[in-house]
């Protein structure tokens, strides 16, 4: 039987929230650490809510209770009750101290939740992961975020096997013990919820830096990793320092402990974790070096380091009352990270990447059977709600609020929010209330965005009246029903807009009764089902540029003509809007090509891009993005009967038209120029050149495949960076080049000792096209370095295949579905969180064409019928089957 299987899976409802009947004011934890077994003594100093009568009930799962005492007296078996998820104790009073001692089995913990072992029994180290409900796997405790306690943690372990002992908070003594053992104590002065508890113990190396906060405190920054990768931690240290400075400047937030520890592990369920004073990172988001890290990965390391650091205020100092408020910390922290990354890099590229991610990951979620509100109203397993909706859409909601208040008003509101809620467990109402109060405005209409699932569709019609010199925009909104939410309300949708003259200049805006007089950009707020906005003194029919900067997370259903979109693509001064116009035009072009429709959009797209390609008016990185049509996942979102093979083929055909229009010679020349300038440098311009070079090579491969393959093979051999090396390898694999096998073998040999690079080796091979992809996956999973026990490896193989290679995964005979379903069943017994997340790759199954749909359904059903599925996987599978 699956050890993670919960016997009953009740639904948890937001409307059932009650304040805790018992709180823990202070907790003293003593750990006796061992790889196979560890023992934990917990002393809970209890507080009772006088208005509630409930008995003392503590969460606890998979714990072997060794002893229990209340106020110093051992309890007899009659005065407590132990179930497989809770401990109920009689006789506790306000002020009582409950002491329990439990035994845990870290090495047997494959779920990577609670206390577990990273790496081998001989050389690995111990660590914890507690968000969301992992602390109950460590000790008996009211494991809910609204119980804030002061922690004193003492670790005891064998000195030789565990030379480094770390926990959250400030160090408070250490020393040697008899028998080769030692101890270390940490005290956290800031009360915190149990999900922010952490410890690490083992053989680790460190790099350090002294930091002085803006308000004058000394902080020791320390990054820890296993010895062989400690040299790859320097970039993260720099990113950490930049993040700390930025939060001081942008939000006036200073760090608040004497030490800030960061630890890298290869065995981790997510990206990273913001434990107070002891952040733990998936090595993928911490380690970086020029030989094995791509440009995109460098940016991801910077972003994740910043994200976790920013949680120290948005999440830790102000935490969540309950898990329904998860976006209170995650949406806000994603938004803060997005602002930071925009400041550190190119703002328009950052916005392009974030919107592309939203469309690729969140829109499909919002349109499928797993759709849920940013603040869901119910869940069975909270780990299933760390989603693109809670994170990415949540960030878009903050962005709308920030736009609504303006940067000064938003800062004022944030200051007020932090001040008023510091040390508290807050709700989204507290957040909106504080922002509104500081700005004398009522933001509660925005709460509807938090409660309503589904992506609103924004319809736009523009009418020009030449006689009256008036231009009227009619905006209307509509949100499709989602599971459990048949009726949808109109939401406040800020539509930032500008009007362009046909010569590409922006027009001053004249409207009645609005403060827009003479501005070129203005925000129309649509808060009804339909509204009209009239612009006066317009001399000729303008070209509207709508939803500028992606001012709201909606699907724009405009009626702009290809000529109008091409004008924006050529002339809009804002890099993001330029890209957006190009994306809309590319969609029209794609649909025209597929449906054999009018050539207008195709020609307009190709002409505009070939002009931009030739005249060098935009930066290389932006040009590369402009020349990339929406991905296959995004295109599939627009269809009712999805055939991934056809989408792939038509998208290729569209790019072929572009390559043809630009011309083989022009592409070749640009490639040679970029190749001649190749370096391993990390500055923005070098990164931009690599990005464009990759795009050009991909387009070349559509025209003269042999030629492009020869260039790719040479690029692979001579590459001064991982970015160039991996780009070349990807082209070789995707075009099934004769040179591919040798390059793959070479890569394997070169990076045999680097698990993160080996993940890329798996990942790139999942991109083989057509039926060959399934066979390749089956070979790869027999590779000795493949294991279902490591989340990064699982994602590098099955995640990359199912999500990034739709035409490979969605084989018409269902072979891909059956393989994934089979592996999900096995994976679930080891790590339910990872299994449940991977299972969401089936999310879009209902919109597949009938043959694939039947195959997918059969595969999901066979998974659903497996005995002993975890609560995590059960919830995902049942939601996907539910109609
Ligand atoms: Zn986060």
Question: Do residues 28 and 43 make contact, with C-beta atoms less than 8 angstroms apart?
Answer: yes
Q: Give me the active site residues, please.
A: 308
Cα 262 to middle of ligand 1, angstroms: 15
Angle at 144 between CA 143 and CA 150, to 5 degrees: 75
Q: What is the mean pLDDT of each run of 10 residues along the chain (883 residues)?
A: 57 98 98 99 98 97 98 98 98 98 98 98 99 98 99 99 98 98 99 99 99 99 98 99 99 99 98 99 98 98 99 99 99 99 98 98 98 98 98 99 98 99 98 98 98 98 97 98 97 97 95 78 97 96 97 95 96 93 98 95 98 94 98 96 97 98 98 97 97 98 98 98 98 98 98 98 95 96 98 98 97 98 98 98 98 98 98 98 87
Reduce the DSSP state of residue 272 to 3 states and report it. Answer: strand
CA distances from 617 to 274, 356, 611, 623, 624 (A): 42, 23, 9, 9, 13
Report the relative pairing of strands 199-202 and 164-167 from DSSP bridges.
antiparallel
| Ligand 1 centroid, distance to 387 Cα (angstroms) | 11
Long-range contacts of 7-12 (CB under 8 A, 24+ apart): 7/84, 9/380, 9/381, 9/871, 9/874, 9/875, 10/380, 11/378, 11/379, 11/380, 12/323, 12/378, 12/379, 12/380, 12/382
Contact criterion met (CB below 8 Å) for 482 and 368: no
Q: Which of 225, 203, 106, 115 is nearest to 158 (CA)?
A: 203
Where does residue 423 rank: exposed (0-12), middle (13-18), buried (19+ CB within 10 A)? exposed
Alpha carbon distance 733, 72 (integer Å): 67
Q: What 3-state class would DSSP assign to 829? A: helix
State pTM to two decimals: 0.98
CA–CA separation, 535 vs 277, rounded Å?
54
Q: Are 269 and 162 in contact (CB under 8 A)?
A: no
- Rounded-to-integer distance, Cα 595 and Cα 584, Å: 17
Query: How many secondary structure helices (H) and strands (E) does the chain include?
Result: 29, 31
Encoding tokens for residue 441? Answer: 């405005």
Whether 843 and 370 have beta carbons less than 8 Å apart is answered as yes
CB of 426 closer than 8 Å to CB of 320:
yes
Determine if the peptide bond prior to 344 is cis (ω within 30°). no
Report the separation in Å between the CA atom of 798 and the middle of ligand 1, taken as the mean of its atom positions: 24
Closest C-alpha to 503, from 467, 542, 469? 542
Q: Which structure tokens are listed for 343? A: 């400041």
Distance 766 CA to ligand 1 centre (A): 29
Give the C-alpha separation, 372 to 392, whole Å: 13
| d(C-alpha 549, C-alpha 407), whole Å | 15
**Residue 42 gets which letter from DSSP?**
E
Ligand 1 centroid to Cα of residue 738, in Å, is 43
* Structure token pair of residue 795: 């994602």
Spell out the residues 6+ positions from residue 843 whose beta carbon is closer than 8 angstroms to its own: 364, 365, 368, 369, 370, 880
498: nearest Cα among 464, 522, 472: 522
For ion ligand 1, residues whose CB falls within 5 Å: 330, 333
For residue 511, the CA-to-ligand 1 centroid distance in Å is 42
Task: Find the 280 Cα to ligand 1 centroid distance in Å.
Answer: 12
Give distance in angstroms: CA of 344 to centre of ligand 1.
19
d(CA 416, ligand 1 centre) in Å: 21
Residue 7: what pLDDT?
A: 45
Q: Distance of CA 87 to CAs 57, 64, 81, Å? A: 6, 12, 6
- CA of 311 relative to ligand 1 center, distance in Å: 7
662 alpha-carbon distance from chain centroid = 36
């Amino acid at each position: 039987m699956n050890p993670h299987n919960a016997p009953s899976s009740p639904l948890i409802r937001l409307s059932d929230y009650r304040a805790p009947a018992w709180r823990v004011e202070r907790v003293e934890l003593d750990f006796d650490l061992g790889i196979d077994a560890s023992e934990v003594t917990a002393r809970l100093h209890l507080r009772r809510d006088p208005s509630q009568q409930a008995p003392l009930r503590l969460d606890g799962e998979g714990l072997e209770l060794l002893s229990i005492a209340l106020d110093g007296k051992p309890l007899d078996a009659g005065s407590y009750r132990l179930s497989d998820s809770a401990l109920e104790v009689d006789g506790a009073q306000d002020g009582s101290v409950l002491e329990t001692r439990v035994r845990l089995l870290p090495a047997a913990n494959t779920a990577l939740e609670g206390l577990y072992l990273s790496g081998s029994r001989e050389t690995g180290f111990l660590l914890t992961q507690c968000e969301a409900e992992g602390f109950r796997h460590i000790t008996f405790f009211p494991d809910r975020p609204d119980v804030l306690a002061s922690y004193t943690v003492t670790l005891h372990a064998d000195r030789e096997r565990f030379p480094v002992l770390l926990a959250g908070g400030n160090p408070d003594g250490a020393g040697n013990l008899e028998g080769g053992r030692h101890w270390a104590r940490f005290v956290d002065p800031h009360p915190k919820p149990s999900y922010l508890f952490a410890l690490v113990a083992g053989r680790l190396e460190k790099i350090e830096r002294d930091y002085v906060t803006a308000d004058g405190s000394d902080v020791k920054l320390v990054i820890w990793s296993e010895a062989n990768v400690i040299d790859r931690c320097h970039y993260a240290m720099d990113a950490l320092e930049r993040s700390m400075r930025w939060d001081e400047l942008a939000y006036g937030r200073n760090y608040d402990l004497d030490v800030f520890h960061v630890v890298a592990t290869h065995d981790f369920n997510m990206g990273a974790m913001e434990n107070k004073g002891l952040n733990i990172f998936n090595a993928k988001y911490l380690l970086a070096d020029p030989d094995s890290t791509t440009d995109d990965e460098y940016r991801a390391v910077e972003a994740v380091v910043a994200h976790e650091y920013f949680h120290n205020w948005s999440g830790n100092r102000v935490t969540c009352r309950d898990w329904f408020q998860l976006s209170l910390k995650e949406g806000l922290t994603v938004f803060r990270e997005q602002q930071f990354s925009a400041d550190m890099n190119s703002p328009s590229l950052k916005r392009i990447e974030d919107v592309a991610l939203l469309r690729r990951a969140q829109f499909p979620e919002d349109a499928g059977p797993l759709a849920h509100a940013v603040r869901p109203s119910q869940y069975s397993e909270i780990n299933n709600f760390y989603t693109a909706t809670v994170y990415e859409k949540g960030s878009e909601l903050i962005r709308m609020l920030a736009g609504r208040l303006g940067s000064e008003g938003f800062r004022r509101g944030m200051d007020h929010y932090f001040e008023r809620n510091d040390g508290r467990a807050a709700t989204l109402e507290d957040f909106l209330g504080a922002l509104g109060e500081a700005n004398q405005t009522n933001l509660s209409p925005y709460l509807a965005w938090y409660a309503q699932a589904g992506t609103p569709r924004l319809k736009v019609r523009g009418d020009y009246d030449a006689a009256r010199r008036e231009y009227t925009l009619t905006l209307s909104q509509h949100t499709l029903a989602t599971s459990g939410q048949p009726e949808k309300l109109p939401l406040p949708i800020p539509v930032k807009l500008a009007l362009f003259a046909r010569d590409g200049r922006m027009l001053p805006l004249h409207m009645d009764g609005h403060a827009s007089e003479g501005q070129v950009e203005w925000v129309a707020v649509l808060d009804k089902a339909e509204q009209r906005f009239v612009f006066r003194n317009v001399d000729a029919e303008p070209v509207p540029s709508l939803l500028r900067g992606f001012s709201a997370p909606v699907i724009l259903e405009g009626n702009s003509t290809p000529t109008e979109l091409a004008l924006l693509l050529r002339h809009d001064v804002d890099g993001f809007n330029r890209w957006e116009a190009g994306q809309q035009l590319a969609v029209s072009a794609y649909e025209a090509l597929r449906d054999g429709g009018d050539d207008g959009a195709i020609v307009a797209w190709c002409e505009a891009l070939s002009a931009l390609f030739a005249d060098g008016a935009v930066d290389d990185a932006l040009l590369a993005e402009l020349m990339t049509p929406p991905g296959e996942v995004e295109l599939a979102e627009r269809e009712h009967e999805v055939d991934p093979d056809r989408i792939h083929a038509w998208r290729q055909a569209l790019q072929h038209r572009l390559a043809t229009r630009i011309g083989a010679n022009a592409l070749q020349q640009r490639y040679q120029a970029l190749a001649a300038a190749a370096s391993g440098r990390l500055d923005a311009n070098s990164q931009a050149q690599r990005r464009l070079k990759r795009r050009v090579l991909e387009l070349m491969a559509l025209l003269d495949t042999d030629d492009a393959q020869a260039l790719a093979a040479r690029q692979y051999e001579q590459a001064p960076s991982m970015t160039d090396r991996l780009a070349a390898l990807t082209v070789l694999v995707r075009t099934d080049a004769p040179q591919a096998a040798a390059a793959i073998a070479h890569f394997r040999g070169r990076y045999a000792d680097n698990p993160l690079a080996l993940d890329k080796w798996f990942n790139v091979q999942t991109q083989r096209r057509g039926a060959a992809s399934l066979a390749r996956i089956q070979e790869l999973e027999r590779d000795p370095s493949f294991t279902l026990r490591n989340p990064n490896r699982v994602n590098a193989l099955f995640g990359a295949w199912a999500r990034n290679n739709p035409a490979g995964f969605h084989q018409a005979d269902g072979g891909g579905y059956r393989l994934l379903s089979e592996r999900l069943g096995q994976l679930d017994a080891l790590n339910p969180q990872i299994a449940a997340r991977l299972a969401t790759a089936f999310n879009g199954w209902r919109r597949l064409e009938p043959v694939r749909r039947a195959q997918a359904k059969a595969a999901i059903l066979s998974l659903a019928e497996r005995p002993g599925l975890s609560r995590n996987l059960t919830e995902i599978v049942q939601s996907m089957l539910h109609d």
